Structure 1
Protein backbone atom coordinates (compact mmCIF):
# COMPACT_ATOMS: atom_id res chain seq x y z
CA UNK A 1 0.00 0.00 0.00
CA UNK A 2 1.33 3.43 -0.91
CA UNK A 3 2.05 5.98 1.79
CA UNK A 4 -0.61 8.27 0.34
CA UNK A 5 -3.21 5.51 0.60
CA UNK A 6 -2.27 5.00 4.25
CA UNK A 7 -2.68 8.73 4.87
CA UNK A 8 -6.00 8.80 3.03
CA UNK A 9 -7.29 5.82 5.00
CA UNK A 10 -6.35 7.48 8.29
CA UNK A 11 -8.03 10.71 7.21
CA UNK A 12 -11.20 8.81 6.33
CA UNK A 13 -11.30 7.58 9.92
CA UNK A 14 -10.77 11.12 11.21
CA UNK A 15 -13.71 12.36 9.15
CA UNK A 16 -15.97 9.89 10.93
CA UNK A 17 -15.05 11.30 14.34
CA UNK A 18 -14.40 15.03 13.97
CA UNK A 19 -17.28 17.49 13.43
CA UNK A 20 -17.79 18.56 9.83
CA UNK A 21 -17.43 22.27 10.56
CA UNK A 22 -14.00 21.70 12.13
CA UNK A 23 -12.83 19.57 9.21
CA UNK A 24 -14.12 22.13 6.71
CA UNK A 25 -12.05 24.84 8.40
CA UNK A 26 -8.96 22.61 8.42
CA UNK A 27 -9.45 21.63 4.78
CA UNK A 28 -9.85 25.26 3.72
CA UNK A 29 -6.83 26.46 5.69
CA UNK A 30 -4.47 23.77 4.45
CA UNK A 31 -5.82 24.08 0.94
CA UNK A 32 -4.93 27.76 1.05
CA UNK A 33 -1.51 27.00 2.50
CA UNK A 34 -0.81 24.56 -0.31
CA UNK A 35 -2.07 26.84 -3.06
CA UNK A 36 -0.89 30.32 -2.16
CA UNK A 37 2.73 29.83 -3.17
CA UNK A 38 4.15 30.98 0.14
CA UNK A 39 7.18 28.70 -0.18
CA UNK A 40 8.95 30.14 -3.24
CA UNK A 41 12.31 29.97 -1.44
CA UNK A 42 12.00 26.26 -0.68
CA UNK A 43 14.93 24.12 -1.77
CA UNK A 44 14.53 22.71 -5.23
CA UNK A 45 16.35 20.27 -7.46
CA UNK A 46 19.87 21.55 -8.08
CA UNK A 47 19.99 23.69 -4.93
CA UNK A 48 22.54 23.05 -2.19
CA UNK A 49 21.39 21.75 1.18
CA UNK A 50 22.39 24.25 3.90
CA UNK A 51 25.00 22.73 6.20
CA UNK A 52 23.63 21.94 9.66
CA UNK A 53 24.58 20.41 12.97
CA UNK A 54 21.61 19.38 15.11
CA UNK A 55 21.27 17.29 18.23
CA UNK A 56 19.55 13.94 18.08
CA UNK A 57 17.13 12.69 20.73
CA UNK A 58 20.05 11.51 22.87
CA UNK A 59 21.67 14.95 22.75
CA UNK A 60 24.41 13.92 20.34
CA UNK A 61 25.27 16.34 17.51
CA UNK A 62 24.68 15.13 13.97
CA UNK A 63 26.39 17.03 11.17
CA UNK A 64 25.11 17.07 7.59
CA UNK A 65 28.70 17.25 6.40
CA UNK A 66 29.60 14.07 8.27
CA UNK A 67 26.50 12.31 6.99
CA UNK A 68 27.18 13.35 3.39
CA UNK A 69 30.75 12.14 3.67
CA UNK A 70 29.28 8.64 4.01
CA UNK A 71 26.98 8.90 0.99
CA UNK A 72 23.70 10.45 -0.20
CA UNK A 73 21.32 11.79 2.41
CA UNK A 74 17.54 11.71 2.74
CA UNK A 75 16.24 14.58 4.88
CA UNK A 76 12.61 14.44 6.02
CA UNK A 77 11.13 17.45 7.80
CA UNK A 78 8.08 16.59 9.90
CA UNK A 79 5.88 18.65 12.20
CA UNK A 80 6.15 16.70 15.45
CA UNK A 81 5.35 13.51 17.31
CA UNK A 82 1.89 14.93 18.02
CA UNK A 83 1.04 14.73 14.28
CA UNK A 84 -0.46 11.34 13.30
CA UNK A 85 0.27 11.97 9.62
CA UNK A 86 3.94 12.46 10.49
CA UNK A 87 3.94 9.23 12.49
CA UNK A 88 2.54 7.32 9.50
CA UNK A 89 5.23 8.85 7.29
CA UNK A 90 8.04 8.00 9.71
CA UNK A 91 6.83 4.39 9.96
CA UNK A 92 6.87 4.16 6.17
CA UNK A 93 10.42 5.52 6.07
CA UNK A 94 11.51 3.01 8.70
CA UNK A 95 10.14 0.21 6.55
CA UNK A 96 12.36 1.20 3.60
CA UNK A 97 15.41 2.06 5.71
CA UNK A 98 17.21 -1.20 4.80
CA UNK A 99 16.80 -0.31 1.12
CA UNK A 100 18.04 3.23 1.75
CA UNK A 101 21.13 1.85 3.46
CA UNK A 102 21.63 -0.74 0.71
CA UNK A 103 21.87 2.15 -1.75
CA UNK A 104 24.64 3.70 0.37
CA UNK A 105 22.49 6.48 1.77
CA UNK A 106 21.58 7.80 5.22
CA UNK A 107 18.22 9.07 6.50
CA UNK A 108 17.47 11.74 9.09
CA UNK A 109 14.15 13.17 10.24
CA UNK A 110 13.98 16.74 11.53
CA UNK A 111 11.32 18.55 13.56
CA UNK A 112 11.30 21.64 15.82
CA UNK A 113 10.31 19.57 18.85
CA UNK A 114 12.33 19.32 22.01
CA UNK A 115 14.27 16.04 22.33
CA UNK A 116 12.08 14.99 25.27
CA UNK A 117 9.21 14.53 22.81
CA UNK A 118 11.34 12.76 20.19
CA UNK A 119 12.46 9.96 22.51
CA UNK A 120 8.98 8.49 23.09
CA UNK A 121 8.34 8.74 19.34
CA UNK A 122 11.51 6.77 18.56
CA UNK A 123 10.60 4.08 21.08
CA UNK A 124 6.96 3.84 20.05
CA UNK A 125 7.65 3.65 16.32
CA UNK A 126 10.93 1.70 16.75
CA UNK A 127 12.83 4.16 14.59
CA UNK A 128 16.46 3.31 13.92
CA UNK A 129 17.48 6.47 12.09
CA UNK A 130 18.48 9.80 13.67
CA UNK A 131 15.61 12.08 14.75
CA UNK A 132 16.96 15.60 15.08
CA UNK A 133 15.69 18.71 16.87
CA UNK A 134 15.71 21.91 14.82
CA UNK A 135 14.96 24.26 17.70
CA UNK A 136 13.51 27.53 16.49
CA UNK A 137 13.07 26.07 12.99
CA UNK A 138 16.42 27.55 12.00
CA UNK A 139 17.35 24.88 9.46
CA UNK A 140 13.77 24.71 8.16
CA UNK A 141 13.90 28.47 7.57
CA UNK A 142 17.21 28.11 5.70
CA UNK A 143 15.52 25.50 3.54
CA UNK A 144 12.63 27.90 2.86
CA UNK A 145 9.93 25.73 4.44
CA UNK A 146 9.15 27.37 7.81
CA UNK A 147 5.82 29.09 8.36
CA UNK A 148 3.68 30.46 11.18
CA UNK A 149 0.56 28.56 12.18
CA UNK A 150 -2.02 31.32 12.41
CA UNK A 151 -5.69 32.15 12.78
CA UNK A 152 -8.21 29.35 12.67
CA UNK A 153 -5.58 26.62 12.35
CA UNK A 154 -3.89 27.78 15.53
CA UNK A 155 -7.19 27.92 17.40
CA UNK A 156 -8.28 24.47 16.22
CA UNK A 157 -4.88 22.96 16.97
CA UNK A 158 -4.97 24.24 20.54
CA UNK A 159 -8.65 24.07 21.45
CA UNK A 160 -9.81 21.02 19.50
CA UNK A 161 -6.74 18.80 19.23
CA UNK A 162 -4.84 20.01 22.31
CA UNK A 163 -1.63 20.75 20.40
CA UNK A 164 0.24 23.51 22.24
CA UNK A 165 3.20 24.11 19.94
CA UNK A 166 5.09 26.45 22.29
CA UNK A 167 5.18 23.64 24.87
CA UNK A 168 6.31 21.01 22.36
CA UNK A 169 8.89 23.24 20.70
CA UNK A 170 10.18 25.16 23.70
CA UNK A 171 9.66 28.64 22.28
CA UNK A 172 6.85 31.17 22.11
CA UNK A 173 6.32 30.92 18.38
CA UNK A 174 3.82 28.82 16.46
CA UNK A 175 6.26 28.05 13.68
CA UNK A 176 6.40 24.73 11.88
CA UNK A 177 8.14 23.26 8.87
CA UNK A 178 5.87 22.40 5.99
CA UNK A 179 6.24 18.64 5.48
CA UNK A 180 9.16 18.27 3.09
CA UNK A 181 11.59 15.62 1.93
CA UNK A 182 14.90 16.16 0.14
CA UNK A 183 17.21 13.59 -1.40
CA UNK A 184 20.72 15.02 -1.50
CA UNK A 185 23.80 13.75 -3.32
CA UNK A 186 27.21 13.54 -1.69
CA UNK A 187 28.04 16.91 -3.25
CA UNK A 188 25.21 18.48 -1.24
CA UNK A 189 23.02 19.04 -4.29
CA UNK A 190 19.30 18.27 -4.06
CA UNK A 191 18.18 15.65 -6.58
CA UNK A 192 14.62 15.24 -5.30
CA UNK A 193 12.55 17.89 -3.54
CA UNK A 194 9.06 17.33 -2.16
CA UNK A 195 7.41 20.36 -0.53
CA UNK A 196 3.65 20.50 -0.04
CA UNK A 197 1.66 22.80 2.23
CA UNK A 198 -1.09 20.18 2.45
CA UNK A 199 -0.14 18.28 5.61
CA UNK A 200 -1.78 15.10 4.34
CA UNK A 201 0.57 14.80 1.37
CA UNK A 202 4.04 13.30 1.83
CA UNK A 203 6.85 12.06 -0.39
CA UNK A 204 6.38 8.46 -1.44
CA UNK A 205 9.15 6.11 -0.29
CA UNK A 206 9.16 4.65 -3.81
CA UNK A 207 10.10 8.08 -5.21
CA UNK A 208 12.87 8.44 -2.62
CA UNK A 209 14.31 5.05 -3.53
CA UNK A 210 14.08 5.82 -7.24
CA UNK A 211 16.10 9.02 -6.73
CA UNK A 212 18.72 7.10 -4.74
CA UNK A 213 18.95 4.45 -7.45
CA UNK A 214 19.58 7.13 -10.03
CA UNK A 215 22.37 8.54 -7.90
CA UNK A 216 23.89 5.09 -7.45
CA UNK A 217 23.70 4.43 -11.19
CA UNK A 218 25.32 7.76 -12.01
CA UNK A 219 28.11 7.09 -9.55
CA UNK A 220 28.73 3.63 -11.04
CA UNK A 221 28.80 4.91 -14.63
Structure 2
Protein backbone atom coordinates (compact mmCIF):
# COMPACT_ATOMS: atom_id res chain seq x y z
CA UNK A 1 0.00 0.00 0.00
CA UNK A 2 2.83 2.34 0.93
CA UNK A 3 4.54 1.63 -2.40
CA UNK A 4 1.36 2.54 -4.29
CA UNK A 5 1.06 5.83 -2.37
CA UNK A 6 4.73 6.69 -2.95
CA UNK A 7 4.47 5.90 -6.66
CA UNK A 8 1.30 7.99 -6.94
CA UNK A 9 3.00 10.96 -5.25
CA UNK A 10 6.02 10.66 -7.56
CA UNK A 11 3.75 10.49 -10.62
CA UNK A 12 1.80 13.57 -9.55
CA UNK A 13 5.06 15.46 -8.83
CA UNK A 14 6.52 14.57 -12.21
CA UNK A 15 3.28 15.60 -13.93
CA UNK A 16 3.28 18.92 -12.08
CA UNK A 17 6.90 19.58 -13.06
CA UNK A 18 6.11 18.78 -16.68
CA UNK A 19 3.12 21.13 -16.68
CA UNK A 20 5.13 23.92 -15.04
CA UNK A 21 7.85 23.48 -17.64
CA UNK A 22 5.32 23.64 -20.45
CA UNK A 23 3.80 26.80 -18.96
CA UNK A 24 7.23 28.44 -18.74
CA UNK A 25 8.03 27.42 -22.31
CA UNK A 26 4.75 28.85 -23.59
CA UNK A 27 5.47 32.16 -21.86
CA UNK A 28 8.83 32.45 -23.60
CA UNK A 29 7.39 31.93 -27.08
CA UNK A 30 7.51 35.18 -29.02
CA UNK A 31 3.97 36.17 -30.11
CA UNK A 32 3.27 36.18 -33.82
CA UNK A 33 3.00 39.52 -35.56
CA UNK A 34 -0.72 39.46 -36.33
CA UNK A 35 -3.44 42.05 -36.58
CA UNK A 36 -4.53 41.03 -33.09
CA UNK A 37 -1.36 42.09 -31.30
CA UNK A 38 -0.02 44.95 -33.40
CA UNK A 39 -1.04 48.47 -32.50
CA UNK A 40 -0.81 49.84 -36.01
CA UNK A 41 -1.56 53.40 -34.88
CA UNK A 42 1.75 53.44 -32.97
CA UNK A 43 3.51 53.13 -36.31
CA UNK A 44 1.31 55.73 -37.95
CA UNK A 45 -0.62 53.24 -40.06
CA UNK A 46 -4.16 54.09 -41.07
CA UNK A 47 -6.17 50.91 -40.49
CA UNK A 48 -8.43 51.54 -43.51
CA UNK A 49 -5.91 49.57 -45.56
CA UNK A 50 -3.10 47.50 -44.08
CA UNK A 51 -0.49 46.16 -46.50
CA UNK A 52 0.72 42.58 -46.27
CA UNK A 53 3.60 42.59 -48.74
CA UNK A 54 4.13 40.16 -51.62
CA UNK A 55 4.58 36.55 -50.55
CA UNK A 56 7.68 34.39 -50.87
CA UNK A 57 7.28 32.27 -53.97
CA UNK A 58 5.38 34.90 -55.92
CA UNK A 59 6.83 36.61 -58.96
CA UNK A 60 8.22 40.10 -58.73
CA UNK A 61 5.95 42.75 -60.29
CA UNK A 62 6.74 43.92 -63.79
CA UNK A 63 7.31 47.60 -63.11
CA UNK A 64 9.48 50.47 -64.28
CA UNK A 65 11.41 52.94 -62.17
CA UNK A 66 12.92 56.36 -62.73
CA UNK A 67 16.53 56.87 -61.67
CA UNK A 68 18.03 60.05 -60.24
CA UNK A 69 19.31 60.77 -63.76
CA UNK A 70 15.74 60.59 -65.06
CA UNK A 71 16.32 57.31 -66.88
CA UNK A 72 13.55 54.72 -67.07
CA UNK A 73 14.65 51.24 -65.99
CA UNK A 74 12.74 48.01 -65.57
CA UNK A 75 12.85 46.12 -62.31
CA UNK A 76 13.72 42.93 -64.18
CA UNK A 77 16.83 44.61 -65.56
CA UNK A 78 18.24 44.50 -62.04
CA UNK A 79 17.68 40.77 -61.47
CA UNK A 80 18.01 39.23 -64.93
CA UNK A 81 21.71 38.48 -64.42
CA UNK A 82 22.05 38.41 -60.63
CA UNK A 83 19.92 38.13 -57.48
CA UNK A 84 18.40 41.42 -56.34
CA UNK A 85 18.08 42.67 -52.77
CA UNK A 86 15.48 45.40 -52.26
CA UNK A 87 15.25 47.49 -49.10
CA UNK A 88 12.33 49.84 -48.55
CA UNK A 89 12.95 52.77 -46.18
CA UNK A 90 10.90 55.74 -45.00
CA UNK A 91 13.03 58.87 -45.43
CA UNK A 92 16.04 60.93 -44.41
CA UNK A 93 14.13 62.14 -41.34
CA UNK A 94 13.91 58.62 -39.87
CA UNK A 95 16.79 57.91 -37.43
CA UNK A 96 16.17 54.16 -37.57
CA UNK A 97 16.33 54.19 -41.38
CA UNK A 98 19.55 56.17 -41.31
CA UNK A 99 21.16 53.75 -38.86
CA UNK A 100 20.05 50.78 -40.95
CA UNK A 101 21.27 52.25 -44.24
CA UNK A 102 24.56 53.30 -42.64
CA UNK A 103 25.21 49.68 -41.72
CA UNK A 104 24.52 48.65 -45.30
CA UNK A 105 26.80 51.39 -46.59
CA UNK A 106 29.65 49.84 -44.62
CA UNK A 107 28.86 46.24 -45.57
CA UNK A 108 27.22 46.49 -48.99
CA UNK A 109 30.32 44.95 -50.57
CA UNK A 110 29.61 41.71 -48.72
CA UNK A 111 26.34 41.42 -50.59
CA UNK A 112 27.86 42.49 -53.90
CA UNK A 113 30.75 40.04 -53.46
CA UNK A 114 28.17 37.28 -53.29
CA UNK A 115 27.01 38.31 -56.75
CA UNK A 116 23.86 40.18 -55.77
CA UNK A 117 22.62 43.67 -56.58
CA UNK A 118 21.44 45.92 -53.73
CA UNK A 119 18.95 48.75 -54.15
CA UNK A 120 16.97 50.85 -51.70
CA UNK A 121 13.54 52.32 -52.49
CA UNK A 122 11.85 55.20 -50.72
CA UNK A 123 8.81 57.42 -51.03
CA UNK A 124 11.01 60.50 -50.57
CA UNK A 125 11.94 62.71 -53.50
CA UNK A 126 15.38 62.59 -55.11
CA UNK A 127 16.19 65.91 -53.48
CA UNK A 128 15.69 64.21 -50.13
CA UNK A 129 17.45 61.03 -51.26
CA UNK A 130 20.55 63.24 -51.45
CA UNK A 131 20.04 64.07 -47.77
CA UNK A 132 19.83 60.37 -47.00
CA UNK A 133 23.10 59.78 -48.82
CA UNK A 134 24.75 62.59 -46.84
CA UNK A 135 23.54 61.11 -43.55
CA UNK A 136 24.37 57.46 -44.31
CA UNK A 137 27.17 57.48 -46.90
CA UNK A 138 25.07 55.02 -48.89
CA UNK A 139 26.97 54.22 -52.08
CA UNK A 140 24.47 51.79 -53.59
CA UNK A 141 21.48 52.47 -55.86
CA UNK A 142 18.61 54.39 -54.28
CA UNK A 143 15.33 54.77 -56.15
CA UNK A 144 12.69 57.39 -55.41
CA UNK A 145 9.18 56.04 -55.89
CA UNK A 146 8.14 59.20 -57.66
CA UNK A 147 4.50 58.18 -58.18
CA UNK A 148 4.05 55.57 -55.46
CA UNK A 149 3.64 52.73 -57.98
CA UNK A 150 6.57 50.64 -56.70
CA UNK A 151 5.26 50.55 -53.13
CA UNK A 152 1.81 49.61 -54.39
CA UNK A 153 3.19 46.86 -56.60
CA UNK A 154 4.97 45.28 -53.62
CA UNK A 155 1.99 45.98 -51.33
CA UNK A 156 4.05 47.83 -48.72
CA UNK A 157 2.36 51.26 -48.90
CA UNK A 158 0.10 52.75 -46.26
CA UNK A 159 -1.51 56.11 -45.52
CA UNK A 160 -0.01 57.84 -42.50
CA UNK A 161 -2.37 58.99 -39.76
CA UNK A 162 -2.69 62.71 -39.00
CA UNK A 163 -1.53 62.09 -35.43
CA UNK A 164 1.69 60.44 -36.60
CA UNK A 165 2.35 63.20 -39.12
CA UNK A 166 2.05 65.77 -36.34
CA UNK A 167 4.41 63.79 -34.12
CA UNK A 168 7.08 63.57 -36.86
CA UNK A 169 6.72 67.29 -37.52
CA UNK A 170 7.09 68.14 -33.82
CA UNK A 171 9.87 65.69 -32.93
CA UNK A 172 11.86 65.47 -36.16
CA UNK A 173 10.89 68.76 -37.83
CA UNK A 174 9.87 66.98 -41.03
CA UNK A 175 6.69 66.92 -43.04
CA UNK A 176 6.13 63.43 -44.40
CA UNK A 177 3.96 64.69 -47.24
CA UNK A 178 6.39 67.42 -48.29
CA UNK A 179 9.31 65.02 -48.05
CA UNK A 180 7.70 62.60 -50.48
CA UNK A 181 7.88 62.82 -54.23
CA UNK A 182 4.09 62.54 -54.48
CA UNK A 183 3.44 65.19 -51.80
CA UNK A 184 1.18 62.66 -50.11
CA UNK A 185 1.60 61.29 -46.59
CA UNK A 186 2.25 57.72 -47.68
CA UNK A 187 5.06 55.51 -46.39
CA UNK A 188 6.34 52.01 -47.07
CA UNK A 189 6.62 49.31 -44.47
CA UNK A 190 10.45 49.07 -44.34
CA UNK A 191 10.47 45.59 -45.84
CA UNK A 192 13.28 43.63 -47.46
CA UNK A 193 12.97 41.30 -50.45
CA UNK A 194 15.36 39.03 -52.30
CA UNK A 195 14.49 38.19 -55.91
CA UNK A 196 16.29 35.47 -57.87
CA UNK A 197 17.22 35.60 -61.56
CA UNK A 198 13.92 33.93 -62.47
CA UNK A 199 12.04 36.84 -60.95
CA UNK A 200 10.81 34.83 -57.98
CA UNK A 201 10.74 36.27 -54.46
CA UNK A 202 12.85 33.91 -52.34
CA UNK A 203 13.05 35.94 -49.14
CA UNK A 204 10.81 38.45 -47.41
CA UNK A 205 11.18 40.41 -44.20
CA UNK A 206 8.07 42.44 -43.51
CA UNK A 207 7.15 44.02 -40.20
CA UNK A 208 4.98 47.08 -39.52
CA UNK A 209 7.33 47.83 -36.64
CA UNK A 210 9.89 50.03 -38.40
CA UNK A 211 12.46 49.18 -35.73
CA UNK A 212 12.59 45.56 -36.91
CA UNK A 213 14.69 45.18 -40.07
CA UNK A 214 16.52 42.45 -41.95
CA UNK A 215 20.19 42.35 -41.02
CA UNK A 216 23.14 41.86 -43.35
CA UNK A 217 23.44 38.32 -41.99
CA UNK A 218 19.76 37.62 -42.73
CA UNK A 219 20.31 38.67 -46.32
CA UNK A 220 23.60 36.82 -46.81
CA UNK A 221 22.09 33.64 -45.38
CA UNK A 222 19.15 33.81 -47.79
CA UNK A 223 20.85 34.76 -51.04
CA UNK A 224 20.34 32.16 -53.78
CA UNK A 225 23.31 29.80 -54.11
TM range (shorter): 0.7 to 0.9
Q: 1:29-77: CA deviations, max 9, x gaps?
A: 33695x999223x112101111232223343444321111220000000
2:216 aligned partner: 205
CA 1:31–1:129 in structure 2 vs 1: closer, same or farther (change >3 Å)?
A: closer
- Which of 49, 54, 69 matches 1:43? 54
For 2:170 and 2:108, locate their aligned partners in 1 and report how far apart those are by CA, in whole Å.
Answer: 36
Structure 1 residue 71 corresponds to structure 2 residue 82: yes
Q: Deviations over 1:157-183 (max 9, x none)?
A: 223322212211143421110110001
TM-score (norm 2): 0.75
1:72-221 residue pairs with structure 2 within 5 A?
Answer: 72-212=83-223, 215-216=224-225
Query: Residue 47 of structure 1 aligns to a residue in which SS?
Result: coil
2:55 and 2:155 mapped to 1: Cα distance? Answer: 10
Structure of higher RCO (CA pairs closer than 8 Å, 6+ residues apart): 1
Q: State whether residues 126 and 181 of structure 2, in contact with CA within 8 Å, keep that contact through their aligned partners in structure 1.
A: no
Q: Based on CA coordinates, which of the two structures has the bigger radius of gyration?
A: 2
Kept after mapping to 2: 8 A contact 1:108/1:131: yes
Pick aligned residue for 1:30 from 39, 42, 60: 42
Equivalent pair of 1:50/1:143 in contact (CA under 8 Å): yes
TM superposition shift of 1:98: 1.3
Unpaired segments of 5 or more residues in structure 1? 1-26, 217-221
SS in structure 2 at match of 1:59: coil
Summarize the Cα distance change of 1:140–1:159 in structure 2 as closer, same or farther, 3 Å threshold: same
RMSD across aligned positions (CA): 2.4
Tell me the matched-pair count. 187
Corresponding residue for 2:70?
59
